[in-house]
A and B are shown apart, each in its own frame.
Chain A
């Protein structure tokens, strides 16, 4: 059972470089999310997609872009990485059509920007 798969697990970038984090889920969920996790702070929402074809900004969207490629895939792009984007990134999915939608997470991607 794959659930939510995200890649890469680790990445080191130099300031100004770009990269894309990939996420895919095989549970036919409508809603997908990208969060970042920093020490001493709760998970913070970067972007989310309530359904295929829609994306919306979360709490901390600056410096990021997203693409909901299809129902399965939701990617996060850093166009010009900055040290402040050093963090652990989690992709998650949930079933939007149920009020009691359980939340499933990927394994996380640890990004370091030098």
Chain B
């Protein structure tokens, strides 16, 4: 069973393009996380959100709790945005936060 589904799995874009990565989930959540992983690198948190929309620079994350869906948008994409983007949902329970992860979207931005 996949609690978190991401699409697309792979994405290639020209520099400057607007990019959207989608995430759907099936569990009840306390928060949804967008993570970034550069090739051979560690994993960093981009956003944590439980409702509405958040914006950091050229990155925007939205969530629709009723539809159990989130999107990550990158405006004016740049080659340095090339990375794997991972959607994760946090489910709060008696033993603290449990996290479920999508398999990631591999983004390549071509100059």
Report which A residues bind B (CB closer than 8 A).
30-31, 33, 40-43, 45, 48, 50-51, 54, 56, 90, 94, 96, 99-108
B99 touches A102 (CB 8 A): no
Taking CB atoms, residues of chain B closer than 8 Å to A42 are: 4, 86, 100-104
Decide if A103 touches B90 in the complex (CB within 8 Å). Answer: yes
Overall SS of chain B's interface:
strand
In the complex formed, the residue of A with least CB distance to B104 is A42
Number of A-B contacts (CB under 8 A): 72
Q: Which residues of A contact B41 (CB under 8 A)?
A: 107-108
Nearest-neighbor residue (CB-CB) of A43 within chain B:
B101
Query: Within 8 Å of chain A (Cβ to Cβ): is B48?
Result: yes
A-B contact pairs, 6 of them (CB 8 A): A42-B4, A42-B104, A94-B97, A99-B31, A101-B30, A102-B45
B86 touches A103 (CB 8 A): no
A101 to B97, CA, bound (A): 7
Q: Does B18 contact A (CB under 8 A)?
A: no
Q: A33-B99, A41-B103, A96-B96 in contact; A101/B90 too (CB < 8 A)?
A: yes
Interface size range on B against A:
20 to 34
What is the minimal beta-carbon distance from A95 to any residue of chain B, in angstroms? 8
How distant is the Cα of A94 from the Cα of B30 in the complex, in angstroms? 13
- Given contact pairs A56-B95, A96-B96, a sample of 7 additional A-B residue pairs in the complex whose CB atoms are under 8 Å apart: A30-B96, A31-B97, A45-B99, A99-B92, A103-B88, A103-B97, A105-B45
From residue A38, how far is it (CB to closest CB) to chain B in Å? 10
Judge whether B96 and A50 touch: CB under 8 Å. Answer: yes
Cross-chain contact of A103 among B33, B42, B50, B104 (Cβ < 8 A): B33
Nearest residue in B to A40 (C-beta to C-beta)? B103
Distance to closest chain B CB from A68 (angstroms): 13
**A-B pairs with the 6 shortest C-beta distances?**
A96-B96, A42-B101, A50-B96, A105-B43, A107-B42, A43-B101
When C-beta atoms are compared, the residue in chain A nearest to B90 turns out to be A101
Q: Is the CB of B97 within 8 A of A96?
A: yes
- Which B-chain residue is minimally distant from A107 (CB atoms)? B42
Question: How many angstroms from the CA of A112 to the CA of B40 in the assembled complex?
Answer: 15
